[in-house]
Amino acid sequence: MQNNIFTTMRSLKIMDGCKGTQVFAINPSGTTTTTTNNGSSGGGVGDKLLHHLQDHLRVNSTRSRSSRSSLSFQSPNPVGNNLVLETLLPYGLPSSDLLEPQIEPSLKSVDFVETLADVYRRIDHCPQFEKSKMYMEQCAIFRGLSDPKLFRRSLRSARQHAVDVHTKVVLAAWLRYERREDELIGSSAMDCCGRNVECPKASLVSGYDPESAFESCMCSRAPGGEEDDTPRREEDDTPRGEEDDDDFVMVGDEECSTSEEDGNMSFCIGDAEVRCVRYKIASLSTPFYAMLYGNFKERRREKINFTQNGISVEAMRAVEIFSRTKRVDYFDVRIVLDLLSFANRFCCDDMKSACDSHLASLVCELEDAMLLIDYGLEETAHLLVAACLQVFLRELPSSLHNPHMMRLFCNSEARQRLTMAGHASFILYYFLSQIAMEEDMRSNTTVMLLERLGECATESWQKQLAFHQLGVVMLERKEYKDAQWWFEAAVEVGHIYSLVGVARAKFKRGHKYAAYKQMNSLISDYTPVGWMYQDRSLYCIGKEKMMDLTTATQLDPTLSYPYKLRAVCLLEENQIEAGITEINKIISFKVSPDCLELRAWFSIALEDFEGALRDVRALLTLDPNYMMFHGKMHGDHLVELLRPLVQQWSQADCWMQLYDRWSSVDDIGSLAVVHHMLANDPGKSLLRFRQSLLLLRLNCQKAAMHSLRLARNHSGSEHERLVYEGWILYDTGHREEALAKAEESISIQRSFEAFFLKAYALADSSLDSESSTYVIQLLEEALRCPSDGLRKGQALNNLGSVYVDSDKLDLAADCYTNALNIKHTRAHQGLARVYHLKNHRKAAYDEMTKLIEKARNNASAYEKRSEYCDRDMAKNDLSTATQLDPLRTYPYRYRAAVLMDDHKEAEAIEELSKAISFKPDLQLLHLRGAFHESMGDFVSTVRDCEAALCLDPNHADTHDLYAKARERVNEQLK
């Protein structure tokens, strides 16, 4: 299997030719022991410790007692120290009655492959000007998937094909929000880093130009990265005629003619006269032309009384100047606002456009936007409102808590005002409502924004999304009647998944049998999928409940609720170790705060306080604000309660612990150690960086990017900051910019991380001989720079990978051996590959066995070892890999290929379909499409190819297969 350095470098994953999701976790050691750190057994804790705990929790004693009266605590270990356990578990143990699967607040299809294929077809065939809307629908579909890159790619495509200013403003702000640059110290909301699709200035320019998305914006071309928007007056900009200099006055920094000889009429405002040129004023609008040259009496008058028209003398003079210069940048903001109002009243389109454009150019900060947006809405100044809206949106999420902003968006009257100005749209409220749901799903603001979203919905998918999300929010607010109404509304417009919400709302209202019938009907009417059985299990009892949970896991092993429910049921039967084993099954490949919380809960019950503290620290890394025990205790508080019960480590001890856990591929344990170290040294950027690497390995991309941004913010030097900025850019798809940051960092100071970043970014492509040599040089330079064993082991491992690709096997073996000498355990895999290429298959197998022994529950290691053994042993290893991590796709593809070789086509298709039903993967879809083609089912091939191309429109092999299959379908139709 050809190695690709891109899959092995900074992500620190074991090389995986299948590129599946990889999560390493090991079963917690000592989960069955009750020995504490002072050497006593049975949970014995000294008196001082008990007093410490009692003092620590005295403030919560009243709340604890009241909670225990409603949710009784049952100690699974009667000889344990009940006082300690009650202190740590003031709200008792988890109950199966309180567990429910979450209803996903996103579009969900009963036939996801067909949905993907349909979206791809419609995008491919829709007019260019309509593509932006189609990509937004694709965004909504991808929102429910675990890979945020798919969503961001669709969002970028939507912005790329946007035509109008409003859409550009919203999507540019949304793209920026997805990168969360607001977390970077020193960044401005109006920064765009030279990217045209995110540039606030480019967004205010109407028109269709998809190619501009690949260009840098004007900001990056101006000196200092800022473009000067100040209008420059050329010599012939202002018509001066033959007047002498005395006939000119300064308005702002400009000269304007005031010669009496120019004027042939006057507007009288009070006692003042404003001399004007009649035909110039008449040219401002049709009403003025009719007044001054039509059948009105004003056509014969040299002086026209304008006192009652609500305009000041200063503003009227500005009107006169504009009538000759067609410019408003002479005037201060107050005068321009008067001109805007005047232009609206007298239909002066050119003047309104000039005022609108000029005022829009002045909006740079939130304070400006708050001052000007009401004027823009009142005068329906489209560009001004866009500029103000843009500042609000680019300040999210903080601006969501601005009362003035919410007044502009939340109620129906506000939406109507935005509509009049051309700025109320589905995508605007989609953006706002998603952020509001992330901030606080139960808030009134969230409800109002979702109601406006529903009002703006016109297409079927938009209504489905808005109504379904309203149902989810109402369910969270325990407004069950309203929740049922909204879910039913979503079903009526075609969202079948909302039937789950209908059933849940009925159940909450006391109609359990009706809920069961609802889910039973859903399973009967459609091809069953895991979530259907998962939700039906809520309305069953006993063996029927467990059967539904088993079926749900068989159909979709990634659903966490069945594991959690089975684990808690085992706990209720006092089988706590078995409960931990059950919850470990999903933690081994899908780490989430709720599952870590449950395992911590169990560990406390077993008095495994080290295991509990490990899990609480890890979950706080994923979600620093997590509330434990049904939202009743902050995770940080539980950490403080557990700390006295475990061995105390110095910072040096922590580094040793981190080294051991990192080497044994214990990512959750490593996260916990880093969390401990950061508690002592929160400004340590290196630790934040380590944290981001671990989170990436665990496929927690959002948390990983947050840690990386914190690493950048706490950088102690310029060269270090540039490296972290480079990684941020690389992880968000900006490879060239990442390379530039690495080179800039190296120019300041040579460092391990800068060379490593540059090598990694360069290796993100197919390497030719010359490129490989350069990457080798960079890695060698990195190894010459100071660093620790953890990172040097990674660099040696990566260097070995490049040597293997360059067919320098002996040098590769040396690198892997050196990496193993400093306990870089993953190097076993590289060394195994070297043995395999040297035809030492048994040695390769043995090397992978060593890795499996050191890194327990390592699905990748079993998967890789399968390449170095016979078919039967390979099947066993791949079966183990699938049990440990059902998200890995290679085992399914291998088994399907073997079945095809044995002419068991239907079984091969079924093997792939089983995985596709819960993981619509590009490679799986492509392979199934190829199998369909070999069987002559070209219609199914076309569908699978379209679904695959929806996930990756640039996949060349799928394009070729798609073209052939479509040609055969067309031939059959003739």
Q: Which residues contact 929 (CB under 8 A, 6 or more apart)?
A: 940, 941, 942, 943, 944, 945, 948, 958, 961, 962, 965
Q: Has residue 591 been placed in a domain?
A: yes
What DSSP assignment string belongs to 444-477? HHHHHHHHHHHHH--SHHHHHHHHHHHHHHHHHT
- Per-residue pLDDT, averaged over 488-505, amounts to 97
Could you give the percent of the chain with pLDDT greater than 70? 86
- Per-residue pLDDT, 918: 94
Residue 245 has pLDDT above 70, yes or no: no
* DSSP β-bridge partners for residue 255: 250
Pairing of the two strands 254-257 and 633-634? unpaired
Higher pLDDT, 555 or 239: 555
- Per-residue pLDDT, 213: 62
- Per-residue pLDDT, 81: 63
Distances (CA, A) of 142 to 71, 106, 119, 130, 622: 40, 9, 11, 19, 22
* Entry pTM: 0.86
pLDDT range class, residue 262, cuts 50, 70, 90: low
* DSSP β-bridge partners for residue 273: 268
- Per-residue pLDDT, 482: 97
Q: Has residue 767 been placed in a domain?
A: no
- Per-residue pLDDT, 621: 96
- Per-residue pLDDT, averaged over 858-874, amounts to 93
Residue 401: both structure tokens together: 């808590």
3-state secondary structure 2-42: CCCHHHCCCCCCCCCCCCCCCCCCCCCCCCCCCCCCCCCCC
- Dump pLDDT digits (tens) for 2-38: 343 333 333 333 233 333 333 223 233 333 333 333 3
- Dump pLDDT digits (tens) for 36-46: 333 333 343 33
- Per-residue pLDDT, averaged over 931-944, amounts to 96
Q: Has residue 383 been placed in a domain?
A: no
What DSSP assignment string belongs to 258-273? --GGG-SEEEEETTEE
- Per-residue pLDDT, averaged over 718-731, amounts to 94
State the DSSP code for 73.
-
Domain termination residue (choose one: 626, 647, 668): 647
- Dump pLDDT digits (tens) for 651-676: 899 999 999 998 889 999 999 999 99
Higher pLDDT, 491 or 856: 491
Cβ atoms of 452 and 410 within 8 Å: the answer is yes
Of 265-279, 281-295, 838-852, where does the model show the most confidence?
838-852
DSSP run (H or E) holding 928: helix 922-934
- Per-residue pLDDT, 708: 95
Domain termination residue (choose one: 343, 362, 381): 362
Cβ atoms of 316 and 383 within 8 Å: the answer is no
- Dump pLDDT digits (tens) for 77-135: 443 467 778 888 888 889 999 999 999 999 999 999 999 999 999 999 999 889 999 99
- Per-residue pLDDT, averaged over 935-945, amounts to 96
pLDDT range class, residue 221, cuts 50, 70, 90: low
Please give the tally of structural domains in the chain. 2
Query: First and final CA of the chain: distance in angstroms?
Result: 42
- Per-residue pLDDT, 202: 87
Q: Has residue 355 been placed in a domain?
A: yes
Q: Which domain covers residue 595, as residue numbers?
A: 578-647
- Dump pLDDT digits (tens) for 738-791: 999 999 999 999 999 999 999 999 988 767 888 899 999 999 999 999 998 889
- 3-state DSSP assignment of residue 187: coil
CB neighbour class for 811 (10 Å; exposed up to 12, middle 13-18, buried from 19): middle
pLDDT range class, residue 548, cuts 50, 70, 90: very high
Higher pLDDT, 137 or 767: 137
- Per-residue pLDDT, averaged over 619-644, amounts to 93
Of 339, 311, 321, which is closest to residue 277 (Cα–Cα)? 321
- Dump pLDDT digits (tens) for 454-480: 999 999 999 999 999 999 999 999 999
- Determine which of 348-352, 689-693, 970-974 has the lowest per-residue pLDDT on average: 970-974
Domain termination residue (choose one: 362, 397, 412): 362
Of 361-365, 467-471, 631-635, where does the model show the most confidence?
467-471
Q: Has residue 341 been placed in a domain?
A: yes
How does the average pLDDT of the chain come out, rounded? 86
CATH number at residue 304: 3.30.710.10
- Per-residue pLDDT, 305: 85
Q: Has residue 587 been placed in a domain?
A: yes
